[in-house]
Chains A and B, each alone.
Chain A
Amino acid sequence: MKAVVVIILSLLTAAQGLGQNNALEKQAPKKYIKDAQGNKHQVVDFEESNIEGRIKLPSGFYIHSRRRAKTKRLIQLRSNFRDQVELTAPRGLITSPH
């Protein structure tokens, strides 16, 4: 019986912790903006979030603090070929260029 009570208490504590994490996430409000091309981008505002941390030099950052630099996430993949479409049917050629 004691063991059952301990398990229930542990689960309740874990659930509370999870709730707190969610609350922390909510502190960084997300909003959506559109750029000049009309593409939708998600913007997360961290201004009001309480983020603690220490500054480290790039070498230390990469060699000691982090197992792997996640550069793959930064690599841009082609999302369209609009620049090429423009060149196959050029505009502004007939009307006098300004």
Chain B
Amino acid sequence: MHFLVALLSFLSLQAFALTPNEVWTRIAKSQRVNDLPEEIYKALSFSGPSNQDEASYLTALAILHSNDKILRYVAYPYLAKASSKWPGIVETKESKVAWAKVNRAFGRKTLLDDLSLTLIASLYERSQLDGPDFQFYFGHYYFDSGKFAKALEILPKVPTNSHQYRRAQFFSALAALQERRQIDAEEFLQSVVSLNRTREEARARVSASAVQRLRELAVLNLARLYYEQKRFDESVTSYRTLTQDSYFFYESLNEQAWAFFMLGYPNRDLGALYSATSPFFSHQYNPEAYYLTALIETALCQGSEAEIDLRRFVRHYRGEGDVLREFMKNAPQGKDALVQFAQLLDPGQTAKLGPRTLETLRSNDYLVEGAKALNLLKEQKKRLKTNRFPSGQVYITEAHDDMTRLLTLNLGNYVKKQLDTMARTSQSTISEARLLYADILTEKREKISGQETDFEDKVLMGDEKAFTDSKVPSARAWTEDKSEFWLDELGYHVTTYKSECGADQ
């Protein structure tokens, strides 16, 4: 009996089966996922279609889902599946329609939109697709893959009347930096900075704050470029345009300190570092700030102040740096480990990392946006369960899971890179601090005649115990008894130190 029912339903399916062209047309013309009749999903589940037909259906499904505010991110996994079923799909009319519709539906609203469009552009490498948006995302894909020369062929072609023009110029600059074309990089960055919010950006609803943020990022990178070229005065000028209300004020304070140091303005330098080590930024992991302070004081022959700051550096970072390096040394390797790195973004997770390390990670702009996108996908997964097409559910859930996993891996990859950089900086700063300490002790020894035996080589070479915690008061420190701190004071401090070099001779 059961066999008979099964046979009848199979025959009825065969009798009413839609042609591939009908399936494609009906899906592509549907406005909403819920408008899609059950028979379409039956046609999709049916094992009859060739790989070519299935690729067409999947492309049509990608178009359909891109119209849906909640499900639009599954467009990429559908298209990826389509091109894996039949690679030739990317050169067909269907793919061109898919790109046009998906691009219009997504725009550049969130990180997830951006991620999806770049991924989709990467699928169409073999296609004849063109147009400003495609050029931007395709160029972005090359940049992301480390193919900088290719990215530089495409990104500068994005026309000025595209709302992606500013971003294209920005990524062109970064690709040029990687290709050691510094003059080109400077020109690209200057164009990002000089351009006010364009009509095209306003029309595409690119927010004023997003435009401002990118302009400031360009200023920051210009300052870094000048620093690398030893144009320290121009570097300082660029850094100083990033004031307290800037997105990159903290980075600017720390980095301008190096530029001031190179220029030979120790008091402005110490002033910038005074702001950078203020309680406003106490959650940031930045061992270089204290170390650089001590380095400047040593250059001014202010040995005792330098020693105090080295001890403050040790108090703030030694333990946390050790924990971080140990964590990275024992961190699991491979793709699956990236999932664990991404989990560090979850505030509920307790990791064996120091509070400053975690806070710096969790306040990173890119990671904040990434974590939001990941939460959005998780929220959407709950809603997917209410989808009223059981057969379509399988497709959508699978595509959604693919997208979630890809985003998780990418965020985990960035977290790992960030922690790697922090661990490396921590290691090198500790080594430099030990050398500096040896130098301070040597100078001290020279000043104290007849007491050389106090400074045995183990101390001179930076014995671990010499770096013990010490709460020595410093005139410049943000003392714990100061009850008020003013944000508008930051960035304007200038100390009044004088060089003590040669004072005792």
Q: Give the B-binding residues of A (Cβ under 8 A).
A: 38, 57-59, 62-63, 67-69, 71-72, 74-98
A71 touches B436 (CB 8 A): yes
A93 touches B414 (CB 8 A): yes
B439 touches A71 (CB 8 A): yes
Indicate the size class of the contact surface on chain B. 35 or more
B295 touches A75 (CB 8 A): yes
Q: Can you pick out 10 interface pairs between chain A and chain B where the beta carbons lie within 8 Å of each other?
A: A58-B457, A62-B460, A69-B438, A75-B435, A82-B228, A83-B421, A92-B146, A93-B411, A94-B118, A95-B122
When chains A and B are docked, how far (Å) is the Cα of A63 from the Cα of B439?
Answer: 13
B10 in the interface, Cβ–Cβ < 8 Å?
A: no
Residues of B within 8 A of A83 (CB): 421, 424-425
B460 touches A69 (CB 8 A): yes
Q: Give the A-binding residues of B (Cβ under 8 A).
A: 115, 118-119, 122, 140-141, 143-146, 170-171, 174, 177, 180, 217, 220-221, 224, 227-228, 251, 255, 258, 261-262, 295, 298, 335, 338, 364, 366, 406, 409-414, 417-418, 421, 424-425, 428, 432, 435-436, 438-439, 442-443, 446, 452, 455-457, 460-461
When chains A and B are docked, how far (Å) is the Cα of A86 from the Cα of B439?
Answer: 33
Residues of A within 8 A of B435 (CB): 71, 74-75
Among B122, B220, B417: residue with most chain A CB under 10 A: B417
Q: Which residue of A lies closest to B295 (CB)?
A: A75
Residues of A within 8 A of B143 (CB): 91
B145 touches A63 (CB 8 A): no
Residues of B within 8 A of A82 (CB): 224, 228
Q: Which residue of A lies closest to B255 (CB)?
A: A81
SS of B interface (majority): helix
Ranked nearest first, the 10 interchain pairs of A and B with the lowest CB-CB distance are A97-B413, A71-B439, A81-B224, A80-B228, A59-B457, A94-B144, A58-B457, A93-B410, A94-B118, A71-B435
B224 touches A71 (CB 8 A): no
When chains A and B are docked, how far (Å) is the Cα of A76 from the Cα of B438?
Answer: 14
B180 touches A38 (CB 8 A): yes
When chains A and B are docked, how far (Å) is the Cα of A58 from the Cα of B413?
Answer: 44
Q: Which residue of A lies closest to B257 (CB)?
A: A78
Residues of B within 8 A of A97 (CB): 335, 338, 409-410, 412-413
When chains A and B are docked, how far (Å) is the Cα of A13 from the Cα of B294?
Answer: 48
Given A62-B457, A72-B439, A83-B421: 11 more A-B contacts, CB < 8 Å: A62-B442, A63-B457, A68-B446, A71-B438, A81-B228, A88-B220, A89-B170, A91-B143, A92-B410, A94-B115, A98-B335
Residues of A within 8 A of B262 (CB): 77
A84 touches B456 (CB 8 A): no
Given the interface pairs A80-B224, A84-B255, A87-B417, the reply to whether A58 lies near B461 with Cβ below 8 Å is: yes
Residues of A within 8 A of B424 (CB): 83
A61–chain B nearest beta-carbon distance, Å: 8
Instruction: Choose from A87, A92, A95 the contact partner of B418 (Cβ within 8 Å).
Output: A87
Q: Which residue of A lies closest to B299 (CB)?
A: A72
Residues of A within 8 A of B414 (CB): 90, 93
Q: Which residue of A lies closest to B364 (CB)?
A: A87
B144 touches A91 (CB 8 A): yes
